[in-house]
Amino acid sequence: MVSLSLWQRYRRNGIRQTKSILASIADVTSDWVFYLNVKSNATLDEKYGFNLFIFACISSGMLLALLLSFLVSARAHAKSRRKRSRTAKYAPFGRILKMVLGLQMLVEDIPQFIIGALVRSERGNLDPYLVFTWTTSGFNFFLNLLDMIEIEDDDSMSAEEEALEENHSNRSGYDHERGSRSAQMY
């Protein structure tokens, strides 16, 4: 059974990170779709294909870094009863996550807008692939910006959360100090 405080910690930290990951997955997918669309046109491929390929690879690498920081951060937030886990040394990954989001905006989203504008001026019209990549890049850009400026919640358990955790532990009959079930039930 998942404890209430674990769910509250996930709601506090995990949902925001999950949003960022899902937006980044959509952005990376649109980058590759746009690259493949440009690659199918010989004239555009010659001018912009290599640059789009580089930025699609960069966005894929940034997504992997984002996933890694999410996994390590999630592991660092897993606490054994009011004590930091062995992975507490990885807790600064929240700051690293913000740096990855900022880098993703600078080296992936902004160049995608610029290259997309160049491709659009070359084609002379707006196609669905370009709209798709601009939409996902714009959404990812603003979501990352909001995540970067969001105020971090205090990760320590409040007195109310500790009382709920203690109450839950007592009802389950699990003795955290001895690491076993106690004989006393309800």
The structural domains of the chain, with segments of one domain joined by +, span: 4-150
CA distance 22 to 96: 18
* pLDDT tens digits, 61-108: 988 988 887 777 766 665 544 455 554 554 555 666 677 777 878 888
- In the predicted model, is pLDDT for residue 135 greater than 60? yes
CA 84 from chain center: how many Å?
23
Percent of the chain topping pLDDT 70: 62
Q: In three state form, how does the secondary structure of the chain look?
A: CCCHHHHHHHHHHHHHHHHHHHHHHHHHHHHHHHHHHHHCCHHHHHHHHHHHHHHHHHHHHHHHHHHHHHHHHHHHHCCECCECCHHHHHCCHHHHHHHHHHHHHHHHHHHHHHHHHHHHHHHCCCCHHHHHHHHHHHHHHHHHHHHHHCCCCCCCCCHHHHHHHHHHHHHHCEECCCCEECCCCC
Percent of the chain topping pLDDT 90: 26
- In the predicted model, is pLDDT for residue 160 greater than 60? no
pTM of the model: 0.67
* pLDDT tens digits, 28-68: 999 999 999 999 999 899 999 999 999 999 989 988 988 88
pLDDT for the residue 107: 80
pLDDT tier at 166 (50, 70, 90 boundaries)?
A: low
Question: Can you read off the two tokens belonging to residue 85?
Answer: 């886990």
- In the predicted model, is pLDDT for residue 173 greater than 60? no
